[in-house]
A = this chain, B = another copy of it.
Amino acid sequence: MLTSRLAQDPALAPLVPRLAFALEIDRLKGVERRTWLADGSRRENSAEHSWHIATLALVLADLAPPGTDVDRVVRMLLVHDLVEIDAGDTFAFDAVGLTDRDARERLAADRLYALIPGGERLRALWEEFDAGETPDARYANALDRLAPLLLNLATEGGTWREHGVQRSAVRRRMAPIASGLAAIWPAVQAAIDDAVDAGWVGPD
């Protein structure tokens, strides 16, 4: 697959699935999200977004809920969007796309996590993230919501303004921050109200 000596040498062949997986996940860099970079130059992709929030998990670690295992959260965030390699990114305010998102992502997980030994451990982290019920998953989901909020604030409303999103919808979308990053929730509410005042978010 990769190169001829590698594939032919029985001592090296067991490495091939893992090296092939390393190239497979490179495709996440090509999955475009709606969110704009803070400098407004282009939309971000799911790989750099995953880096961003995994790093924020470290930067905001002292604000995580008691009992959070920050290293587990980081692992969770590194793999939380891998299914998008097959399923694509589904925009948060896209009601139609969201209806079949779960089915598409499960299919993607069935394929991707079967490619490497130990894949089921990574899959379990994604499933825990997706369920959003454990303290680790709550902190992880809060970070996944906080980053696009900050980017929308930095780009004068960003995707909110583009899609005419209302205050109630932004609040619902940001609700995981209330439980997963409670220390920041008042700041998030204030920022949303500021965005309404600025005309970036509808007042409803």
Q: Using CB atoms and an 8 Å cutoff, list the residues of chain A in contact with chain B.
A: 2-6, 9, 11-12, 15, 18-19, 21-23, 25-30, 37-39, 41, 44-45, 47-48, 50-52, 54-56, 58-62, 71, 74-75, 78-79, 116-118, 122, 146-147, 150-151, 153-154, 183-184, 186-187, 190-191, 193-195, 197-198
Task: Apart from A26-B38, A59-B122, list 10 A-B contacts with CB within 8 A.
Answer: A2-B150, A2-B153, A6-B190, A12-B186, A22-B150, A23-B151, A23-B154, A26-B39, A26-B52, A74-B78
Cβ contacts A to B, 29 pairs, < 8 Å:
A3-B190, A3-B194, A3-B195, A5-B191, A9-B186, A9-B190, A19-B150, A21-B59, A22-B56, A22-B59, A22-B147, A23-B151, A26-B38, A26-B52, A26-B151, A29-B48, A47-B47, A48-B48, A50-B55, A51-B51, A54-B54, A54-B74, A55-B78, A58-B78, A58-B79, A59-B116, A59-B122, A71-B71, A74-B75
State which of B3, B54, B71 has its C-beta within 8 Å of the C-beta of A51. B54
Closest to A75 in B: B58
Closest to A4 in B: B194
How many copies of the chain does the oligomer comprise? 2
